[in-house]
Amino acid sequence: MTVFIMKLFFRFLASWVGLVSGPGRAVVGAAEVAAQRFSQSVTTEAKQRLGLAQLSTEQWADLDRAVAAFQRGETGMAVERALQAMTQKTAERVETAEKKVQVAEQEIAAEAAAARATPRQKPAAPSGVAGAREVFKKKTTEAPAGRFTAKIAGPFHGWSGGTYFPLENGQVWKQTGTESSEWPLVAAAEVAIYPSGNGYWRLSYQGEWITVKRVQ
């Protein structure tokens, strides 16, 4: 509580004492005055006007003790003790809050440092059937950049229109035209696939070629 508020408080206190022991009434005895708490006699409007509305229960208890001492004639020492007690409690609350904030900041900083110090682990390569699927998927998604050769997966005996050509590298190509050409049955026949000048792809085998497109 600031000195200004304390001055307002004691001005109000003086008027309050005047009401308690005003003209036409005998001065209230010390025991009777002590029994009547100052905090219970202050209206809500007065609390707002004097800046006392935000006081805690402990601070109101300190004020009640200060008022009781004031009424007993212990003005100077009572005010000093009350002011010191309230100032100390306020300082303790502020210090406690600052320590909590400091601890929280230290924890956040420690977590951030630990995250920076921990190396990122690369995901483990899939194994077994899952690994084979990943390899096959990778191969089938790699688009050919230019001419390459590959072997037919399984038997090969030519083409007859719309023929599919599964390759050992995982790709699958399909004949786009209806041309027909037959050869003796060959296992793992090696074919060449390359882009044409007009933007299409060709599959060539032993000097003959057809137009194809990749389907997988």
- Output phi, psi for 55, to 5 deg: -70, 145
Question: Which H or E element spans position 90?
Answer: helix 75-117
Q: How confident is the model at residue 45 (pLDDT cuts 50, 70, 90)?
A: confident
pLDDT at 192: 95
* Distance between CA atoms of residues 204 and 196, nearest Å: 11
* Distance between CA atoms of residues 138 and 170, nearest Å: 9
* Distance between CA atoms of residues 72 and 213, nearest Å: 107
Residues 77 and 151 in one domain: no
Q: SS3 of 129, please?
A: helix
Higher-pLDDT residue of 13 and 38 is: 38
In a domain, 162, yes or no: yes
Residues 91 and 148 in one domain: no
Alpha carbon 144 to its chain centroid, in Å, reads 43
Domain-terminating residue out of 55, 77, 95? 95
In a domain, 59, yes or no: yes
Residues 12 and 73 in one domain: yes
Summarize pLDDT for 158-178 with one digit per residue, the tens. 999 999 999 999 999 999 999
In a domain, 115, yes or no: no
Task: Look up tokens 């997988």; give the residue.
Answer: 216
Domain-terminating residue out of 95, 129, 160? 95
In a domain, 130, yes or no: no
Domain-terminating residue out of 95, 126, 157? 95
In a domain, 82, yes or no: yes
pTM of the model: 0.35
Q: SS3 of 207, please?
A: coil
Summarize pLDDT for 66-100 with one digit per residue, the tens. 777 776 665 556 567 766 776 777 678 778 878 88
pLDDT at 15: 57
pLDDT for residue 41 is more than 90: no
User: Total structural domains in the chain?
Assistant: 2
DSSP state of 123: P
pLDDT at 2: 47
Residues 70 and 152 in one domain: no
In a domain, 202, yes or no: yes
Q: SS3 of 158, please?
A: strand
DSSP state of 167: B
* Distance between CA atoms of residues 200 and 216, nearest Å: 16
Residues 15 and 88 in one domain: yes
In a domain, 48, yes or no: yes
Residue 66: give the domain boundaries: 3-95
Residues 14 and 91 in one domain: yes
In a domain, 168, yes or no: yes
Residues 7 and 90 in one domain: yes
